[in-house]
Amino acid sequence: MNANDPALGAAEKYEDAEFLPAPRAGRIMLITWVVLAIILCVTILDVVLFVPKTPDGGGALALAMLAAVAGIMIVAWFCSRITSLEISGQQLSIKMTFWSARYDLAGLRSIEPDADVFKGVMRSFGNGGWGAFHGWFRGKRAGKFRAYVTDTDRSVVLRWGTRCVVVSPRDTDYFIEEVCKRTGVRRQN
């Protein structure tokens, strides 16, 4: 089939598009470094204060527990890492380190950039800044939404009937343009 075939839907006429996530913004970097500093301080305090005072081998257990916590934190950071956003036909794939989230763009009602979508939000479940904002959130502007965001200033809000997803591509205008031409949705704002 060629791109001029009238039997093709709007989405099938276009090549797949891949978008890099926005670079981690200052707020996310700050949260990441603060958490790392806290872990480092707790580790140093544990080694200095508790390990020398436990002749019965409790110090080894304390170090093992700290190593386990540090390992869990590193795995959590890798799990929240957003590697790319891809549009293939009418499917949006958000690729993370170990898995992908997929959203059918059919039925999309609106798409808009919104740098203020995270103002006053509450996290229901997920990562609140350790490498990214990734999980379920609730706020006045977007209601209940799923987020895959590395820079809140580059947030793009996609709305379906009862679902809302927020992403942060590096080039928000190009991302919005690609979604609009594949779905026929007009850009809001």
Q: Decide: pTM greater than 0.85.
A: no
* Domain harbouring 143, CATH code: 2.30.29
Whether 81 has a pLDDT exceeding 90, the answer reads: no
AA identity, residue 167: V
AA identity, residue 69: V
18 shares a domain with 39:
no
123 shares a domain with 56:
no
Query: pLDDT category, 111, cuts 50, 70, 90?
Result: very high
Query: pLDDT category, 51, cuts 50, 70, 90?
Result: low
On whether residue 188 sits in a domain, the answer given is no
117 shares a domain with 62:
no
Q: How far apart are the first and last CA of the chain?
A: 36
97 shares a domain with 66:
no
99 shares a domain with 40:
no
Taking the C-alpha atoms of residue 159 and residue 142, their distance in angstroms, rounded to an integer, is 9
Domain count, the chain: 2
171 shares a domain with 88:
yes
70 shares a domain with 134:
no
Of the candidate ranges 11-20, 22-31, 53-62, 102-111, the one whose mean pLDDT is the lowest: 53-62
Q: Which two tokens stand for residue 159?
A: 């709305």
Query: pLDDT category, 170, cuts 50, 70, 90?
Result: very high
Report whether 146 contacts 127 (CB < 8 A).
no
Structural domain including 162 reads 11-24+83-183
On whether residue 97 sits in a domain, the answer given is yes
Average pLDDT over residues 24-30: 75
Mean pLDDT of the chain: 81
Query: pLDDT category, 1, cuts 50, 70, 90?
Result: very low
176 shares a domain with 88:
yes
On whether residue 4 sits in a domain, the answer given is no
Taking the C-alpha atoms of residue 101 and residue 11, their distance in angstroms, rounded to an integer, is 19
87 shares a domain with 16:
yes
